Amino acid sequence: MAQAEYRNEEEYASQAGTGALLNPRIDSTFKALFTQDTPESKGALQSFLEAATERKITHFEIRNNDAPIGFIGQRNVSYDISCEFDDGLSADIEMQAFN
């Protein structure tokens, strides 16, 4: 797994100061936690999505979508996640690595 890349020491220090041991906005962390073909990784992603959407998800599918960088400062990370909620509605969720 690749190490996280930071633009400078201030960015690294600000990340360390958040108290978060693993920041899912960092590409290598997101991939390690949520995109592995294991029951644990799939469960973690489902839990993450349910917490983010505040809805129960019955099915989801990850589609890699590493599009070209659209603006200066954007990290080259993007995932589209198609999901279906327990009420039958569906959504496409885009995960991007910026605030």
Q: What is the pLDDT of residues 47-81, one digit of tens each?
A: 999 998 999 999 999 876 655 555 555 555 566 88
The whole-model pTM stands at 0.63
Q: Which helix (H) or strand (E) holds 80?
A: strand 78-85
Tokens of 46: 């489902």
Contacts of 27 (CB under 8 A, 6+ apart): 2, 4, 75, 76, 77, 97
